Amino acid sequence: MTFERTGSRHDLAARRARVARVIRLAPSVVRVTFAGDELADLPAEGPEDHVKVFFPDPATGELHAPRTVDGTLQRPTSGVSVSRDYTPRALRATADGTELDLELVLHGVDDGAPAGPASSWAASAEVGDELVVAGPRGSRGVPAGIDRLVLVADETAMPAAARWIEQAPTGVAVTVILDLADEKADAYVDAPAPDGGPSPFARASVERLYRIDGPGQVAEAVRSLDVGATTFVWAAGEATTLIPVRRYLRHELGLPHDQVKVDGYWKRGVTNRDHHEPLDPTDPD
C-alpha cells in the first residue's frame, strides 16, 4: 500500500494577534486563545500543520517579527527575532472575528529544566499581549486508505496528536502512546477540546507513560504494538527519546518512509532545535 496524503502549499504570511484568553489545562500546559483580524485567512487544515510564533526578546521585551507587505514577507530590519514552532490547535470564527488556540508547554516551571523564551512568555501570558504568527507553509492530510493510526506524543506533540484523532476518518482505529512528565499531566489528556466537547483522546486507545518512572518506556511500548501493513505511525516529541522508536520502525520492522513520520519537536539541552534536521544524524532519511 502507498500512504498517499493530500497536500497544499500556502503563501507565507505573518499575522499579528492579541491574547484573548489564557486557560491552565494542567500545571505545565496553557491554552492561549488569540484574536485578531489578521487571523481570518490562516490556513490550518492538516493535523501536523505548524506556525512560527514570534515572541518578545526576553532581554528587551520588544517584539521583532516579520510583516506581510503587499503579499510579501518582510523580515525585521533591527532587533533580535525570537521564534519557535507551535501547532495551531484550533481555529474558529466567532461573532467578533477569528480565534486561534495554541497549547504551550511550560517547561522549567516545575521540572527544574531551563525555560526558553516561549515557555517563559506562556507562563505569564496575559490578555492583550501581542505576538506574531507566521505560516503554516503547508498542510498534509491523514493518509488515505489506512485502517489504523498509531500516535506517539509527549506534551508538546499532544496538540498535533489531538488533531490527528479529530481528523482520522470513522473506522480508523487510533492507538496513542503518551510520554508524559508525571501524573499531573493527566489533566491535559483529559481536558475538554477547544470547542468544549470531550477530550479527543477519549476516542482512542491510550497508553499513558510517565517519564518520572524512568527512560526507555516509549520505545518499549512501541515495540509491543502490532503494526500492520495498513497502519500509519506518527511520532513527535523529544528527539533523543524518539531515535530508538524510529530505528525500530524503519530498520527492524522495515516500514517504508511514507508509512512512518518521526519528528523531533525539541531536544534536551538544545535551544530552538530545527526539526528539519535529521532526528538521527548517524542515519538521516
Which residues contact ligand FAD by CB under 6 A?
50, 84-87, 103-105, 107, 113-114, 116-119, 156, 159, 265-272, 275
Contacts of 246 (CB under 8 A, 6+ apart): 235, 260, 262, 279, 280
Contacts of 214 (CB under 8 A, 6+ apart): none
**CB nearer to ligand FAD: pick between 119 and 139:** 119
**CB nearer to ligand FAD: pick between 115 and 253:** 115
What's the min distance (Å) between Cβ of 237 and ligand FAD?
8
Contacts of 272 (CB under 8 A, 6+ apart): 83, 84, 116
What's the min distance (Å) between Cβ of 24 and ligand FAD?
14
Q: Rounded to an integer, what distance in angstroms lies between the CA atom of residue 128 and that of residue 149?
A: 39
Cα 95-99-104 angle, rounded to 5 deg: 155
**Which residues, in sequence order, are bridge partners of residue 35?**
18, 99
Cα–Cα separations (whole angstroms), residue 220 to 177, 215, 280: 11, 10, 18
**CB nearer to ligand FAD: pick between 87 and 227:** 87
What's the min distance (Å) between Cβ of 143 and ligand FAD?
18
Q: Rounded to an integer, what distance in angstroms lies between the CA atom of residue 241 and that of residue 63?
A: 33
**Cβ-closest position to ligand FAD:** 116
What's the min distance (Å) between Cβ of 49 and ligand FAD?
8
Q: Three cell numbers at 184?
A: 499531573
**CB nearer to ligand FAD: pick between 16 and 107:** 107
What's the min distance (Å) between Cβ of 181 and ligand FAD?
8
**CB nearer to ligand FAD: pick between 58 and 244:** 58
**CB nearer to ligand FAD: pick between 117 and 143:** 117
What's the min distance (Å) between Cβ of 53 and ligand FAD?
8
Identify the sign of the CA torsion 25, 14, 141, 239: negative
